Amino acid sequence: MKVDGNGKAAVLTDEQLDQLLDAAPAPNHRCLWAIQRWTAARVSEALSLQWRAVDGGVVTFKRRTTKTRRTKQVDIGQRLAVELNRYREAWRKAYGRDPKPGDYLFPARSSMKETMTRQAADLALRSTLAGLAIPGASTHSFRRSLATNAMRRGCSLKAIQRVTGHKSLEGLGEYLDVSGSEVLSVIEG
């Protein structure tokens, strides 16, 4: 768990993730966190999305915005589809028009031509986490939580790797949180 910016981001339960979305300070934060939650996107990847990237039933992260420099596509599940539709309506109300394909999902407060900053996204998340008394979490908790919770549900590591976009299973392994009881069950069968 992270302490004073050191260590790995906490893995959150589905209940904590639901609480976090419900406590989001604004629709843009809720949608940002939903995208991160159900696509394992890094915050910078999610912030760079334009509306065209969430069409056609998939979220497309362009290679220039990913750490691996490879395009990543993740299917939009039912819960994320609901969040995106809800946010599209909030976006429409906030800006007085339908979003265009080239518009950013998360524009900066001061300019539609720039995205919300990582710092602004981080500040909103940290403030919300503090209000919920959830320690050790950060913007990276969404990636670790998706990977770990999927592993605990019995999903294959290859399937998890495909969603997270890790180049190797070794790299994915760093994201997986394993409890003492899980290690003991491996040893004792």
Q: What is the mean pLDDT of the chain?
A: 85
92-105 residue pLDDT tens: 999 999 999 999 99
* SS3 call for 62: coil
Q: Which domains does the chain have, with CATH numbers?
A: 14-188 (1.10.443.10)
**What is the spatial distance between Cα 115 and Cα 106, in angstroms, rounded to a whole number?**
6
In this prediction the pTM is 0.84
Q: Which of 154, 146, 138, 137 is nearest to 172 (CA)?
A: 146
- Mean pLDDT confidence for 23-40: 96
Enter the DSSP assignment of 40: -
Residues 6+ apart with CB under 8 A from 112: 95, 103, 104
- pLDDT tens-place string over residues 50-61: 999 998 999 888
